[in-house]
């Protein structure tokens, strides 16, 4: 769509295809620039796309509006090992619906506020905020254990 939106989004290997504003939210449909992946099982490169199931992912707010990314979750077939591999995105953890930077932002907010207040301000449920906090905390412990 626009180099400027790609630059503002600042996610590696991602290009913004469309942008829309609905009520108080931005919705960005993104595409992954790479044509293929290294298989997560055998490390051989494959471009054979098996399926693409887009998901909605929350990112950092901008201009006072929540930002949601429609991210293609691509699964590839590897002829070498005859297995399916889902693309790993460096800016998003597996089976999460928030970018890493958004989860870090929420985690930092919780440290200086209450979970209930962050929940109200971010428009997320209390349990979702607790889940983000637990996930980021576990990630930090894993990094510290290395």
Continuous H helices in 10-114:
100-112
| pLDDT confidence bin for 33, thresholds 50/70/90 | very high
Q: Residue 118 belongs to what domain range? A: 98-146
Domain annotation covers residue 140: yes
Q: Which residue has the tokens 């006072």?
A: 64
pLDDT in tens, 35-71: 999 999 999 999 999 999 999 999 999 999 999 999 9
pLDDT in tens, 72-86: 999 999 999 999 999
Beta-strand ranges (E) seen in the chain are 14-22, 25-32, 37-38, 45-46, 49-62, 65-78, 83-86
Q: How many domains does the chain have?
A: 1
Domain annotation covers residue 7: no
Domain annotation covers residue 55: no
Q: Using CA atoms, how far apart are residues 41 and 20, in angstroms rounded to an integer? A: 37
Domain annotation covers residue 1: no
Residue 62, classed as helix, strand or coil, is: strand
Domain annotation covers residue 124: yes
Domain annotation covers residue 57: no
Contacts of 84 (CB under 8 A, 6+ apart): 50, 75, 76, 77, 78
When pLDDT is averaged across residues 92-111 and rounded to a whole number, the result is 95
Domain annotation covers residue 54: no
């Amino acid at each position: 769509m626009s180099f400027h939106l790609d630059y503002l989004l600042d996610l590696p290997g991602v290009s913004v295809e469309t942008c829309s504003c609905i009520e108080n939210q931005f919705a960005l449909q993104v595409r992954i620039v790479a044509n293929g992946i290294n298989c997560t099982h055998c490390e051989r490169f494959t471009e054979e796309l098996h399926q693409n199931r887009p998901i909605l992912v929350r990112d950092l707010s901008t201009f006072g509006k929540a930002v949601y990314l429609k991210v293609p979750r691509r699964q590839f077939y590897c002829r070498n090992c005859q297995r399916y591999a889902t693309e790993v995105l460096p800016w998003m953890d597996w089976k999460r619906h928030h970018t890493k930077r958004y989860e870090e932002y929420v985690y930092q907010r919780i440290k200086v506020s209450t979970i209930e207040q962050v929940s109200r301000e971010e428009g997320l449920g209390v349990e979702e905020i607790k889940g983000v906090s637990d996930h980021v905390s576990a990630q930090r412990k894993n990094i510290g254990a290395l």
